[in-house]
């Protein structure tokens, strides 16, 4: 039986860190993730963990610290948001290409400018091709549960992993949550015993060596394979977590999709708003459903294509804009997944929504479903690249 508590998303992540007791944390503050190292530093100060807490001068240095520690054979963690994640970008690529399973908590926040400290996914999506595994949470509970699974996943395929939650919406909001007992967490996560590390004198090695054209592509191909292999690992670890807690996780979550004619694809806390909209519309006899993406990297292309194959119309909900004059990242990935499977039946549109913390109401989601119903009836998509709840 778990431990019932009331925690914010940031508190929940910090508590998960305490339970795991990593070796090193490279820390630099930025809103709204600052609370994570702040809470965790109290555990360090109180002697509740053995972690070497290293406050540094920038997010770039925080990730550099994690890279050095992980390469030496330690478990290394950090937390960041928004421009801090962008400042890490150079080192994010290094961590992934050097196959170092660092765990990074991200409280997603809009990128400047204009200056904005509220939630959207422009920070995480801006580094979506850096080679990191990326799990997104709808609730505080899911953020906590994702973090407990993260190291198992990253270490199994030797890739770094981001645990993303929505800044302020979950990072600062307090919710009821069920914590796993410390001894169960330790047994579930296990110890980190890398096969190769800089401090392993029996097997001397280099990390971050220069790769000539003779080797570079092979290294990238191996990195790509690790990302593909991660799909099965995420499912396996999720199944083990379900056996321990009763809470089940996969690459995606399907909600009312068995007979859905119109569907949304969404990431993060807005899935909760969409579920409420669906409950109201289902009561009116509308056949609407939802696909919530939990794993954005690796992208669950097969699972989404399978879930959409009988749908008449869908909308990808992007809390970020790629500024390509065409669509956001989720829509692009979903369309590619459908095309690769030879599925051309569902009509698809893209909504850019919630930028800079713009409110996403039940009525907003119901408007999207109403548009999808028109598309399903007429067979005409109209404009596929749309903004939701914006003053034109």
CATH number for 166: 3.40.50.970
Q: Measured between alpha carbons, how far is 13 from 165 in angstroms, rounded to an integer?
A: 10
Q: What does the angle CA 172 – CA 176 – CA 177 come to, to the nearest 5 degrees?
A: 95
Domain end among 216, 245, 274: 245
Let me know whether 193 and 291 are in one domain: no
Arithmetic mean of pLDDT over the chain: 97
State residue 254's pLDDT score: 98
Q: What does the angle CA 169 – CA 171 – CA 176 come to, to the nearest 5 degrees?
A: 85
State residue 202's pLDDT score: 83
Let me know whether 123 and 237 are in one domain: yes
Q: Measured between alpha carbons, how far is 269 from 319 in angstroms, rounded to an integer?
A: 11
Q: Measured between alpha carbons, how far is 113 from 126 in angstroms, rounded to an integer?
A: 14
Let me know whether 91 and 227 are in one domain: yes
State residue 201's pLDDT score: 80
State residue 93's pLDDT score: 98
- Assess whether pLDDT exceeds 80 at residue 1: no
| Within a domain: 392 | no
**Is the preceding omega at residue 238 within 30 degrees of 0, hence cis?**
no
Let me know whether 103 and 123 are in one domain: yes
CATH number for 360: 3.40.50.920
Let me know whether 28 and 110 are in one domain: yes
Let me know whether 325 and 214 are in one domain: no
| Within a domain: 194 | yes
- For the stretch 7-19, pLDDT in tens is 999 999 999 999 9
Domain end among 245, 276, 296: 245
Mean pLDDT of 263-270: 98
Question: In 3-19, which positions are buried (b, 16+ CB within 10 angstroms) versus exposed (e)?
Answer: eeeebbbbbbbbbbbbb
Instruction: Count the domains in the chain.
Output: 2
- For the stretch 35-87, pLDDT in tens is 999 999 999 999 999 999 999 999 999 999 999 999 999 999 999 999 999 99
- For the stretch 149-195, pLDDT in tens is 999 999 999 999 999 999 999 999 999 999 999 999 999 999 999 98
Let me know whether 303 and 327 are in one domain: yes
Let me know whether 61 and 81 are in one domain: yes
Three-class SS of 122-155:
HHHHHCCCCCCEEEECCCHHHHHHHHHHHHHHHH
State residue 379's pLDDT score: 95
Residues with Cβ within 8 Å of 88's Cβ and at least 6 positions away in sequence, in order, are 59, 60, 62, 63, 80, 127
Q: Measured between alpha carbons, how far is 115 from 96 in angstroms, rounded to an integer?
A: 29
Global confidence as pTM: 0.97
DSSP state of 180: P
**Beta bridge partner(s), residue 349:** 315
Residues with Cβ within 8 Å of 280's Cβ and at least 6 positions away in sequence, in order, are 362, 366
Write out the residue range of the structural domain in which residue 63 sits.
3-245
Domain end among 195, 220, 245: 245
Bigger pLDDT: 251 vs 2: 251
Residue-by-residue DSSP string for 209-276:
----HHHHHHHHHHHHHHHHHHHHHHHHHHHHHHHHHS----SEEEES-SS-SEEEEE-TTHHHHHHH
Helix segments in the chain, DSSP class H: 9-20, 35-45, 59-71, 82-87, 89-97, 122-126, 140-157, 182-189, 213-245, 270-283, 301-308, 329-340, 362-378
- For the stretch 273-323, pLDDT in tens is 999 999 999 999 999 999 999 999 999 999 999 999 999 999 999 999 999
């Amino acid at each position: 039986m778990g431990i019932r508590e009331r925690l914010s998303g940031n508190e929940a992540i910090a508590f998960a860190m305490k339970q795991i007791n990593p070796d090193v944390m490279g820390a630099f503050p930025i809103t709204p993730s600052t609370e994570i190292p702040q809470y965790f530093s109290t555990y360090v100060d109180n002697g509740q963990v053995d972690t070497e807490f290293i406050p540094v001068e920038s997010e770039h240095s925080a990730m550099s610290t994690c890279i050095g520690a992980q390469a030496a054979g330690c478990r290394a963690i950090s937390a960041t948001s928004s421009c801090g994640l962008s400042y890490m970008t150079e080192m994010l690529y290094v961590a992934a290409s050097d196959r170092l399973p660092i765990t990074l908590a991200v409280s997603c926040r809009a990128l400047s400018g204009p200056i904005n400290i509220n939630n959207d996914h422009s920070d995480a999506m801006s580094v979506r091709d850096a080679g990191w595994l990326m799990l997104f949470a709808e609730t505080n509970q899911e953020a906590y549960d994702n973090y407990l699974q993260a190291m198992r996943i990253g270490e199994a395929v030797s890739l770094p992993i981001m645990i993303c939650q929505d800044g302020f919406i979950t990072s600062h909001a307090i919710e009821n949550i069920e914590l796993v007992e410390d001894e169960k967490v330790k047994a579930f996560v296990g110890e980190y015993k890398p096969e190769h590390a800089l401090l392993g004198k029996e097997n001397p090695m280099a990390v971050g060596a220069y790769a000539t054209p003779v080797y570079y592509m092979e290294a990238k191909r191996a990195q790509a394979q690790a990302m593909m292999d991660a799909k099965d690992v995420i499912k396996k670890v999720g199944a083990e977590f379900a056996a321990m807690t009763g809470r089940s996780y996969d690459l995606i979550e399907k909600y009312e999709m068995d007979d859905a004619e119109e569907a949304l694809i969404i990431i993060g806390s807005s899935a909760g708003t969409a579920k409420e909209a669906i409950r109201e519309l289902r009561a009116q006899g509308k056949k609407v459903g939802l696909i919530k993406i939990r794993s954005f990297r690796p992208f669950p292309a097969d699972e989404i294509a399978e879930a959409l194959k009988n749908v008449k119309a869908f909308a990808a909900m992007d809390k970020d804009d790629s500024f390509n004059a065409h669509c956001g990242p989720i829509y692009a990935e979903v369309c590619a997944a459908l095309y690769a499977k030879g599925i051309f039946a569902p009509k698809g549109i893209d909504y850019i929504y919630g930028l800079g913390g713009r409110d996403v109401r039940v009525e907003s989601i119901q408007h999207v479903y109403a548009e999808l119903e028109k598309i399903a009836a007429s067979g005409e998509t109209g404009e596929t690249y749309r903004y939701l709840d914006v003053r034109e």
